[in-house]
Structure 1
Amino acid sequence: MSLSSHLQELKKKHQSLSESVEMLQRSPATDDLEIAKLKKQKLQLKEEITRLSTH
């Protein structure tokens, strides 16, 4: 897998997590722990994207 395609996949996953977090935050029966877990995954992806983009 090339670097650019890997970055694209990471960005897609990041966007998907963003959408999931937004949806869960609007839901009345939201599990704060689940949201925190998704936000952590999102942050890890963002850091990986940044790290790969700067090389």
Structure 2
Amino acid sequence: MGRDEHSKGGKNAASLPQTPKNQKLSASDMRAEIARELDNIESLVKQRESAKKRK
């Protein structure tokens, strides 16, 4: 019958973290970044396929 019954966490435990304004991207910048990443992944896949064919 101690004080351990209150182990639910603080008041901010259920809140989500906020993104600072200087780290937010516009929608067009986000699309461009995703396109670059997909292009990079595609080139890596092609490199692996060509390396497998050489072996």
Normalised by the length of structure 2, the TM-score is: 0.49
Larger Rg: 2
The structure showing larger relative contact order (alpha-carbon pairs under 8 Å, at least 6 residues apart) is 1
More helix by share: 1
